[in-house]
Chain A
Amino acid sequence: QSALTQPPSASGSPGQSVTISCTGTSSDVGAYNYVSWYQQHPGKAPKLLIFEVNKRPSGVPDRFSGSKSGNTAALTVSGLQAEDEADYYCSSYAGSNNLGVFGTGTKVTVL
């Protein structure tokens, strides 16, 4: 299982939107609607933001939204805030006989 491909970095000004892509294969992202997104601040544990492509756990602001088309998923952060500056990782289920697979990670900078 190869890591999912994400852009190394993304940026936006406060109030703007930023979208992060996550490209996998027909064996992971393309095969299942089980894509998750995690936010990780420096020195902290990852935090679940999105699961099952576009569902948000309780407490996650609706500024965070997810989507998927074919083998590529995306996370959009709308109304960027300073505290959104962090690393973001996508992850996909890869079948019952496998572990999941994480993305390469994207550092989001709020300008």
Chain B
Amino acid sequence: QITLKESGPTLVKPTQTLTLTCTFSGFSLSSSGVGVGWVRQPPGKALEWLALIYWDDDKRYRPSLRSRLTITKDTSKNQVVLTMTNVDPVDTATYHCAHKPSGTYGVLGYWGQGVMVTVSS
């Protein structure tokens, strides 16, 4: 059974760095073709891809946020960490991590429940 759970601060001040951790079970991020992605959803708005890390440490980022995002993995801990620098109130959103199955393209099969992050002074 695949599960993912996000953790991190619920309130961050503008200009600070946001660090979110995705802890997962039921799959290995060292298996060929597997990935873990981060998606956010501002209140009342649509889903937005943020970043994706593959089993081989290849990474993809949302172009408009590339300079502010870093995604890393710790395979031994079954964790993926997303760091976002210089946050702004527009970054207020629920942040989800999700599992990309092997052999699929653009698919997020299992999702974490998400963590609501508010950026406010």
**Are A93 and B109 in touch, CB under 8 angstroms?**
no
Q: With contacts A32-B105, A34-B105, A93-B105 known, is A46 near B46, CB below 8 A?
A: no
**Are B51 and A46 in touch, CB under 8 angstroms?**
no
Identify which of B47, B104, B111 contacts A102 (C-beta below 8 A): B47
**Could you tell me how many residues of chain B have their Cβ less than 8 Å away from some Cβ of chain A?**
25
A32 to B108, CA, bound (A): 16
Size bin of chain A's contact surface: 20 to 34
A92 to B63, CA, bound (A): 16
Q: Does B52 contact A (CB under 8 A)?
A: yes
Which of B37, B62, B63, B106: most chain A CB closer than 10 A?
B106
A38 to B108, CA, bound (A): 9
Identify which of A32, A45, A47, A102 contacts B49 (C-beta below 8 A): A102
**Are B47 and A34 in touch, CB under 8 angstroms?**
no
Q: Which residue of B lies closest to A94 (CB)?
A: B106
**Are B46 and A3 in touch, CB under 8 angstroms?**
yes
Q: Does B57 contact A (CB under 8 A)?
A: no
Q: Does A64 contact B (CB under 8 A)?
A: no
Residues on A with C-beta less than 8 A from B110 are 48
Q: With contacts A46-B47, A46-B96 known, is A99 near B62, CB below 8 A?
A: yes
Residues on A with C-beta less than 8 A from B104 are 34, 51-52
Chain B 54-77 interface 0/1 with A at a Cβ cutoff of 8 Å (1 = within): 000000111100000000000000
Q: Which residue of B lies closest to A50 (CB)?
A: B107
Q: State how many angstroms separate the Cβ of B117 from the closest Cβ of chain A.
A: 15
Q: Which 3 A-B pairs have the closest CB atoms?
A: A93-B106, A100-B106, A45-B111
